[in-house]
């Protein structure tokens, strides 16, 4: 088993920590009927790392992969897109896989990730010394849902990120299939409320916490340094301290397939944050990045 490499001489601005999987997408017909499928990759944190690099910043993706062709495909594709890899390869646990039935309104996904290499991440996977010089550490609510050890790892990661002087960025990204509603509601609220930057969809917040409006979500997460509430094709609202919320409407987009847009939004917003943009421009950058993904079938836009 190989270990996470030491940071390169040029420390990435952002480290994104979480699982990426092989992605099998049905083409031309529902998954149960199609004879054709595309093989790619999926994973929220990897998507964000790719988006940050595309926006001109440096980013690393930290995770565990199985010693198998799917893991090799993931690492090769992320490296091809300019993402630095901080990856442990596990000879005894597989890379996770997901299958997707795409649709304009929603997509059905089926996970095969229990016992995956990434689900075995545990406290100490990264530490403050490795994160020295990193400006933002980003993860999502998917990672603590993978296993108890991953949940403990995310808690420790926040402590180590701050000890290293980095901001903690957290995207709620609830995945209903991975854990119970009670576990999700408690853990996601705790992690989002403690983050320096947190992203949450208005619809998922209503599903998890029963909070219907952006203001209600802010009341539920009063301690988050900068809370971004995304409301689909309506727009996004930023809450920071006691300042007046900032709202930017979403642009009109002809949606091809919605999966991956939230990750793109986070990448666009974080890239603009690194650039020193004001809140309205950060929200606009998030919308623009999401729009590019909404017009493609994959989680990642084609390389230009």
Q: Is 183 a catalytic residue?
A: no
Q: What residue has token string 């969809």?
A: 201
**CA atoms of 240 and 229, how far apart (whole Å):** 12
Segments of 178-299 assigned E as strands: 197-201, 226-231, 235-240, 246-249
Dist CA 29 CA 8 (whole Å)? 44
Dist CA 127 CA 171 (whole Å): 21
Gyration radius of the chain over CA positions: 18
| In the block, residue with structure tokens 């701050």 | 162
Dig out the tokens for 280 from the structure.
Answer: 């309205």
Tokens encoding 243: 């300042």
Is the CB of residue 78 less than 8 Å from the CB of residue 49?
yes
**Two tokens, residue 67:** 């010693």
Residue 90, H or E segment: strand 84-90
Q: Which of 263, 278, 281, 299 is catalytic?
A: 263
What amino acid positions are annotated as catalytic residues? 263
């Amino acid at each position: 088993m190989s270990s996470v490499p030491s940071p390169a001489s040029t420390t990435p601005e952002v480290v994104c920590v979480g699982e990426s999987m092989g992605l099998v997408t049905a083409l031309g017909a529902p998954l149960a009927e199609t004879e054709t499928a595309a093989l790619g990759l999926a994973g929220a944190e990897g998507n964000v790392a790719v988006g940050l690099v595309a926006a001109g910043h440096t980013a690393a993706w930290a995770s565990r992969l199985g010693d198998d062709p799917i893991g090799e495909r993931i690492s090769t594709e992320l490296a091809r897109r300019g993402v630095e890899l901080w990856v442990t390869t596990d000879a005894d646990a597989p890379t996770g896989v997901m299958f997707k039935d795409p649709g304009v309104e929603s997509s059905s996904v089926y996970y095969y990730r229990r016992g995956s290499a990434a689900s075995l991440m545990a406290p100490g996977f990264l530490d403050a010394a490795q994160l020295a010089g990193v400006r933002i550490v980003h993860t999502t609510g998917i990672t603590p849902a993978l296993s108890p050890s991953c949940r403990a790892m995310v808690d420790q990661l926040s402590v180590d990120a701050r000890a290293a002087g980095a901001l903690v960025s957290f995207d709620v990204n609830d995945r209903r299939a991975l854990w119970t509603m009670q576990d999700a509601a408690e853990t996601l609220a705790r992690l989002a409320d403690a983050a320096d930057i947190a992203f949450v969809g208005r619809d998922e917040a209503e599903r998890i916490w029963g909070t219907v409006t952006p203001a209600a979500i802010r009341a539920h997460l009063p301690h988050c340094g900068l809370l971004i509430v995304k409301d689909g094709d309506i727009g996004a609202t930023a809450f920071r301290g006691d300042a007046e919320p900032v709202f930017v409407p979403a642009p009109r987009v002809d949606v091809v397939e919605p999966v991956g847009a939230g990750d793109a939004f986070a990448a666009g917003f974080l890239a603009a944050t690194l650039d020193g943009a004001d809140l309205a421009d950060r929200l606009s950058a998030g919308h623009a990045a999401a729009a590019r993904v909404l017009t493609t079938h994959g989680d990642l836009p084609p390389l230009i």
